[in-house]
Amino acid sequence: MAPPDVRVPRALPTVLAVSTVLAGLGARPFLPDDVAGPVGDALYAVLLVWLVALVAPAVRPATAAALALLVATAVELSHLTDVPATVLDRFPLARYALGTTFSAADVLWYALGAALAGAVLALVRPRAAVVDEALRHVRERRRPRARWVAAVLVPLAVLGAVGAAGVGVERALRLEADDLSAQVVAAGSELADAEDKVADPATRTALSDALDAATALLAGRPVLDRGPGDAAAAGDRLEQAAATVHASRRTFATEQIGAQRETVAPVRRRAEHILAATDRLADAGTAAGDAARTALRDAVGTADEAVSATAADRLDAMALDELEDAAPDLSARRDDVDRATTALMVAQDAVSCPEDDQRWWPRGGRLDDDELAPIPWAPEHEIRADLVDGLVALDEAYRAEFGVHLTVNSAYRSYDQQLAVHDPRDPNPLAAPPGCSNHGLGTAVDLSMGPGSFDGAPYLWLQEHAGEFGWQHPGWAGPAGRLPEPWHWESVETPTEY
Ligand SMILES: [Zn+2]
- The domain ranges of the chain are 11-131, 187-251, 253-352, 369-491
What pLDDT score was predicted for residue 128? Answer: 47
Higher-pLDDT residue of 450 and 145 is 450
What residue ranges in 227-268 does DSSP mark as E strands? none
Among 27-31, 226-230, 481-485, which is the least confidently predicted range? 27-31
Higher-pLDDT residue of 172 and 102 is 172
Cα Rg of the chain, angstroms = 47
User: Quick check: 426 pLDDT over 70?
Assistant: yes
CA of 483 to the centre of ligand 1 (A): 11
Higher-pLDDT residue of 131 and 328 is 328
Mean pLDDT of the 361-374 span: 95
CA distances from 5 to 2, 8, 57, 121, 147 (A): 8, 9, 11, 15, 15
Mean pLDDT of the 125-144 span: 54
CA of 481 to the centre of ligand 1 (A): 14
User: Quick check: 91 pLDDT over 80?
Assistant: no
User: Quick check: 138 pLDDT over 70?
Assistant: no
What pLDDT score was predicted for residue 99? Answer: 67
Cα separation of 104 and 110, whole Å? 10
Split at pLDDT 50, 70, 90, the class of 286 is confident
Cα separation of 381 and 408, whole Å? 8
User: Quick check: 51 pLDDT over 80?
Assistant: yes
The DSSP output letter for 408 is: E
CA of 287 to the centre of ligand 1 (A): 25
CA of 490 to the centre of ligand 1 (A): 8
Split at pLDDT 50, 70, 90, the class of 485 is very high
Residue-wise pLDDT tens digits, 439-478: 999 999 999 998 778 999 999 999 999 999 999 999 999 9
Q: With contact defined as beta carbons under 8 Å apart, do 361 and 290 qualify?
A: no
What pLDDT score was predicted for residue 260? Answer: 97
User: Quick check: 301 pLDDT over 90?
Assistant: yes
Higher-pLDDT residue of 9 and 106 is 106
CA of 413 to the centre of ligand 1 (A): 10
Q: What is the mean pLDDT of the chain?
A: 89
CA of 453 to the centre of ligand 1 (A): 14
CA of 446 to the centre of ligand 1 (A): 5
CA of 493 to the centre of ligand 1 (A): 15
Q: Which of 477, 413, 418 is nearest to 441 (CA)?
A: 413
Mean pLDDT of the 41-55 span: 91
CA of 489 to the centre of ligand 1 (A): 7
Mean pLDDT of the 157-169 span: 79
Mean pLDDT of the 310-334 span: 96
What pLDDT score was predicted for residue 20? Answer: 87
What pLDDT score was predicted for residue 130? Answer: 46
Split at pLDDT 50, 70, 90, the class of 137 is low
CA of 388 to the centre of ligand 1 (A): 17
Residue-wise pLDDT tens digits, 244-281: 999 999 999 999 999 999 999 999 999 999 999 999 89
Higher-pLDDT residue of 338 and 21 is 338
Higher-pLDDT residue of 142 and 459 is 459
What pLDDT score was predicted for residue 24? Answer: 81
Among 2-11, 84-93, 138-147, which is the least confidently predicted range? 138-147
CA of 394 to the centre of ligand 1 (A): 17
Residue-wise pLDDT tens digits, 375-422: 999 999 999 999 999 999 999 999 999 999 999 999 999 999 998 888
Phi and psi at residue 471, to the nearest 5°: -125, 155
Cα separation of 327 and 333, whole Å? 10
CA of 55 to the centre of ligand 1 (A): 114
For domain 369-491, the CATH class is alpha beta
CA of 424 to the centre of ligand 1 (A): 17
User: Quick check: 150 pLDDT over 80?
Assistant: no
The stretches of 353-483 forming alpha helices (DSSP H) are 388-402, 415-421, 457-465
SS3 139: helix
Predicted model pTM: 0.64
Split at pLDDT 50, 70, 90, the class of 142 is low
CA of 342 to the centre of ligand 1 (A): 26
Mean pLDDT of the 325-352 span: 96
Q: What percent of the chain has pLDDT over 70?
A: 91
CA of 444 to the centre of ligand 1 (A): 6
CA of 358 to the centre of ligand 1 (A): 12
CA of 439 to the centre of ligand 1 (A): 6
CA of 478 to the centre of ligand 1 (A): 12
Mean pLDDT of the 350-359 span: 91
Higher-pLDDT residue of 465 and 37 is 465
